[in-house]
Amino acid sequence: MSTRIGLVGLAVMGQNLALNIAEKGFPIAVYNRSPEKVDDTVARAQAEGDLPLVGYKDIQDFVAAIERPRSVIILVKAGKPVDDTIAKLVEHLEPGDLIIDGGNEWFENTERRARQVAERGLLYMGMGVSGGEEGARKGPSMMPGGPQEAWERVAPILQKVAAQVDDGPCVTWIGPGGAGNYVKMIHNGIEYGDMQLIAESYDILKHVGGLSNDELADVFAEWNRGELESFLIEITAQIFRRRDDQGDGWLVDKILDKTGMKGTGRWTVQEAAERSVAAGTMTAALDARYLSGLKDERVAASRLFDDPAPPAGIDKAALVNDVRQALYASKICSYAQGMNLIRATGETFAWGLDLGAIARIWKGGCIIRAVFLDRIKQAYDRDPKLPNLLVDAEFAREIKERQDAWRRVVGLAVASGIATPAFSASLAYFDSYRRARLPANLVQAQRDLFGAHTFERTDREGSFHADWE
């Protein structure tokens, strides 16, 4: 059988994406370095409805089975395994063939590889794929970047394989070069921010509000019926319902409080620093992961410092209502940071990015999918040059309505000794952005005093240096 497309790398994501492609009616050839995964995938394809998927254990046979010009998706671990896979593939590919890396790859690696394979006449794309195992199988959100002609070749396949929402499939051509990887990296940075904001909501509701796991499950389920409706809120409700099958109580209470990570969120924060874009909420989320990792030190420190006295007279229902609003307002700030970072980098590299289209393809399939993303898309539809989501008329109105609750929550957390770094960073971002005058004048004066770094004045043009003595 001649197949329409090939896929290399049959770990969880690769295997599920291959089955999804086959199920959508595109015959697919698959290959994996260790042959057992090939057998597993072929067996699943048969079991899940005799899907048009053919397994190969020899890379030359695999390449020969794909119709020309060939398109080959690779889904192996980012970094060296991608280079190794490309090195093996290019031995058999022909000019005009296309390689698509679907992993969480650093965007500059994609650009380097595109240049390398171009010497052999090959096309190359870096495509972010989000949605985990289930998304890959049933419909992920996909962020392909690279040559537009490459996108046009695979668009009919990707558009059917992607998650479908009210206004189309959750895939679009992001832009040239490493734009697709870049946008997926920011998606993950935003994912870190969302998860941390939800974790802080939990912390306050549990430790200040005294909510039980059952009550927390109900609260998150209720939130998932309103403005916060999203995959992450939905799974949070599900987590609070889960009993421990290896002991008494709830599983969530038995999980060690140390967050792991693969690192795309760290890249986002590094990039924000590199591009001089404020990204405090995502940075706070990253730092929270680092501090969580110091479990032994934290346990030791907890013996040294007492908790502040708990605030009295907490009204649970009012607290739940406040935290919901604080979470929503904080989320607006976090997304504003992420979108601004995408824009800044897009402008630097002249990627011609469409922020509204990017928000649209995150509406379904991916980890940060949420009804909220439709509001972001609408904001960019209203004004494609919007400098910040905070000044969109709709978001500005929503923030104004929620800011009292937001301040109450952060104040209460501070008084209770509960760290809410992402809530606080979002609020600080808002308060810094919305103020016409900041204390930066003093920092400029200090820089000029000790280093003659000069300053600008509010009342006349030019660059000034004062004799501070």
Give catalytic residue positions. Answer: 184, 191
Please say whether the beta carbons of 82 and 107 come within 8 A: no
Q: Is 168 in the site for ligand 6PG (CB under 6 A)?
A: no
Q: Is 388 in the site for ligand 6PG (CB under 6 A)?
A: no
Q: Is 366 in the site for ligand 6PG (CB under 6 A)?
A: yes
Structure-block tokens of residue 183: 């946008």
Question: By C-beta, is 59 or 136 nearer to ligand 6PG?
Answer: 136
Q: Is 261 in the site for ligand 6PG (CB under 6 A)?
A: yes
Residue from 55, 102, 126, 131 binding ligand 6PG (CB under 6 A): 131
**Residue environment code for 97-131, b if the CB has 16+ CB neighbours within 10 A, otherwise e:** bbbbbbbbbbbebbbebbeebeeeebbbbbbbbbb
Question: By C-beta, is 376 or 412 nearer to ligand 6PG?
Answer: 376
| Paired residues of 201 in beta bridges | none
Question: By C-beta, is 123 or 171 nearer to ligand 6PG?
Answer: 171
Label residue 217 exposed, middle or buried (CB < 10 Å: 0-12, 13-18, 19+). buried
Q: Which of 187, 260, 200 minimizes the C-alpha distance to 422?
A: 200
Structure-block tokens of residue 409: 């929550």
84 to 113: interface string for ligand 6PG, x by CB under 6 A? --------------------x---------
Q: State the pairing for strand pair 123-130/98-101.
A: parallel
Q: Is 14 in the site for ligand 6PG (CB under 6 A)?
A: no
Cα distances (angstroms) measured from residue 309 to each of 46, 399, 416? 62, 31, 7
CB 342 to ligand 6PG: min, Å = 15
Structure-block tokens of residue 39: 């057998």
Piece in contact with ligand 6PG (CB under 6 A), picked from 212-220, 232-240, 259-267, 452-460: 259-267
Q: In angstroms, rounded to a whole number, what is the distance separating the alpha carbons of residues 46 and 23?
A: 11
Piece in contact with ligand 6PG (CB under 6 A), picked from 87-95, 211-219, 256-264, 314-322: 256-264
Question: Any idea which residue has 């002249």 for tokens?
Answer: 350
Residue from 132, 168, 293, 417 binding ligand 6PG (CB under 6 A): 132
CB 139 to ligand 6PG: min, Å = 13
Question: By C-beta, is 38 or 232 nearer to ligand 6PG?
Answer: 232
Residue from 3, 264, 388, 424 binding ligand 6PG (CB under 6 A): 264
Question: By C-beta, is 190 or 353 nearer to ligand 6PG?
Answer: 190
**Residue environment code for 136-171, b if the CB has 16+ CB neighbours within 10 A, otherwise e:** bbebbbbbbbbbeebbebbbebbbbbbbebeeebbb
Question: By C-beta, is 188 or 388 nearer to ligand 6PG?
Answer: 188
Residue type (1 letter), 214 = D
Q: Count residues near ligand 6PG (CB under 6 A).
A: 14
Q: Is 414 in the site for ligand 6PG (CB under 6 A)?
A: no
Binding residues vs ligand 6PG (CB under 6 A)? 104, 130-132, 187-188, 191, 261-265, 366-367
